[in-house]
């Protein structure tokens, strides 16, 4: 179920640099409806838990440090084909390869500080959304 939803975070650098509004505007203009939204701070422990799938990757330690370095904005988004369409809207992980018109092309600074997260499957979208939001916070 919930195959029309995805989960995103506006990462610490983009949040710190006042790009929350710009990024949310691109998300809404892209046809996504905001189901849940909050600004919050991940502890290193919580960031490690969120990215546990990447535990064996060489960048895991740096990623956990970066994602807990300042507040993030978490959101659940709704649209037909949400997961795939959102990954198209955000662009490639490495901003050097991100297409014109994508969020990462406009706001990402590096392969790590790449402005936004987007879920990679329907299953993970549901797990990640529920990591941040109770059912009473999703509308
Ligand atoms: P995300 O999960 O944040 O939406 O990004 P993604 O699917 O495009 O990329 P993924 O492979 O899942 O990597 C998760 C995040 O780890 C950081 N990263 N750093 N230093 C590096 O080589 C490297 N590679 C990935 C990025 O912040 C990436 O978004
Ligand atoms: Mg990913």
Q: What is the DSSP letter of 64?
A: H
55 in any annotated domain: no
CA–centroid distance, residue 7 to ligand 2 (Å)? 11
Q: Mean pLDDT, to the nearest integer, of 107-115?
A: 97
Ligand 1 site residues (CB inside 6 A) read 59, 63, 93, 111-112, 114, 117-118, 120
How many domains, in total, are found in the chain? 1
High-pLDDT (> 90) share of the chain, %: 98
Q: Given pLDDT bands bounded at 50, 70 and 90, which one contains residue 15?
A: very high
CA–centroid distance, residue 113 to ligand 1 (Å)? 9
32 in any annotated domain: yes
CA–centroid distance, residue 5 to ligand 2 (Å)? 16
The yes-or-no answer on residue 19 being catalytic is no
83 in any annotated domain: yes
Specify whether the CB–CB gap between 71 and 132 falls below 8 A: no
Domain enclosing residue 112, as ranges: 5-37+76-137
- ipTM of this complex: 0.95
67 in any annotated domain: no
Token digits for 68? 């807990």
Token digits for 76? 């659940």
CA distances for 75 relative to 19, 42, 55, 61, angstroms: 15, 14, 23, 24
| 58-105 tens-digit pLDDT | 999 999 999 999 999 999 999 999 999 999 999 999 999 999 999 999
> Annotated catalytic residue: which of 8, 117, 128, 132?
117
Give the span between the Cα atoms of 20 and 110, in whole angstroms.
18
61 in any annotated domain: no
Token digits for 5? 């939803």
CA distances for 88 relative to 4, 20, 32, 121, 134, angstroms: 15, 19, 13, 13, 27
Domain CATH for 13:
3.30.70.141
Its pTM stands at 0.96
pLDDT higher than threshold 60 for residue 1: no
117 in any annotated domain: yes
126 in any annotated domain: yes
56 in any annotated domain: no
Residues in the chain: 139
């Amino acid at each position: 179920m919930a195959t029309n939803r995805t989960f995103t975070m506006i990462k610490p650098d983009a949040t710190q640099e006042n790009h929350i509004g710009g990024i949310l505007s691109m998300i809404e203009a892209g046809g996504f409806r905001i189901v849940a939204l909050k600004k919050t701070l991940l502890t290193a422990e919580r960031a490690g838990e969120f990215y546990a799938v990447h535990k064996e990757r060489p960048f895991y330690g740096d990623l956990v440090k970066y994602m807990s370095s300042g507040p993030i904005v978490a959101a659940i988004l709704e649209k037909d084909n949400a997961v795939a369409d959102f990954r198209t809207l955000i662009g490639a992980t490495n901003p050097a390869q991100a297409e014109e018109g994508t969020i990462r092309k406009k706001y990402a600074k590096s392969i790590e500080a790449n402005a936004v997260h987007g879920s990679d499957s329907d299953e993970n979208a549901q797990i990640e959304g529920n990591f941040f939001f109770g059912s009473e916070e999703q509308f």
